[in-house]
Structure 1
């Protein structure tokens, strides 16, 4: 199946990475739900509410990624804000939480997405300066 989008490849690649982040978030929500249904006593609190919260957030991230893949201009700004927020979370995971095995991959993906969304072809596309789609 051949996919055709009016967006440059940088936008489509960034959208795919953002959509992947959304899928990981949905997976996390499902794992929380499974642990809550198993009766795990160490979780405490309202695990189902937390799972629902993460599912809603992940669905929003997935929508931004899908919008970018489809060449929708509205997906760029929320994706940039999301990456900046995730960079802060990655920094916290690397430093104070002492979990670099989680923080470093998250930070690398965020930096790659930010670079892709900041390329000149992407900004030209976002501003509507581009007459023909570039590869």
Structure 2
């Protein structure tokens, strides 16, 4: 089966990067579950609730990524919101938490995705305009 989409390459690239974020959230969820099942967590049973919360978030982000990859315009706005929220997380990691090794890569990835989602070809596509706009 051949994958085809009428979305501009900027949308497809953003979809792939949002997919990486969703998969990262899914891996984090599995790590939480493993930690909870092994009994290493100080949170006790609360770790399972936290894992369920992150599983729902990961599913939403992956749904946005899938929507962008297949060319659905509805996926652009929630993807922008996710990037803005993650920029806040990155800021906190860089500043108050003192963990720039985590915050800087997240911030860079978010800025790249935002630039891709606000390129002129992406904006025209999202508004239902001519898909033959030069990228």
TM-score (norm 2): 0.94
Q: Is 1:8–1:134's contact at 8 Å kept on the other side of the alignment?
A: no
* Gap runs ≥5 in structure 1: none
Distance 1:41 1:125, change over 3 A: closer
Q: Does 1:117 align with 2:98?
A: no
* SS at structure 1 position matched to 2:48: helix
The 4+ residue runs of structure 1 with deviation greater than 2 A are 41-45, 131-135
CA distance in structure 2 between the aligned counterparts of 1:104 and 1:52, rounded to whole angstroms:
27
Q: Is 1:6–1:133's contact at 8 Å kept on the other side of the alignment?
A: no
C-alpha offsets along residues 58-87 of structure 1, whole Å, 9 cap, x if unaligned?
Answer: 000000011001000000000001100100
* SS at structure 2 position matched to 1:87: helix
CA distance in structure 2 between the aligned counterparts of 1:120 and 1:131, rounded to whole angstroms:
11
* SS at structure 1 position matched to 2:40: coil
Q: Is 1:32–1:48's contact at 8 Å kept on the other side of the alignment?
A: yes
The residue number in structure 1 matching 2:35 is 35
The residue number in structure 2 matching 1:107 is 107
RMSD: 1.5
The residue number in structure 1 matching 2:21 is 21
Q: Does 1:48 align with 2:48?
A: yes
C-alpha offsets along residues 12-52 of structure 1, whole Å, 9 cap, x if unaligned?
Answer: 00011001100000100000000000011434451111001
Distance 1:75 1:45, change over 3 A: same
* Gap runs ≥5 in structure 2: none
Aligned pairs, number: 135
Distance 1:41 1:21, change over 3 A: closer
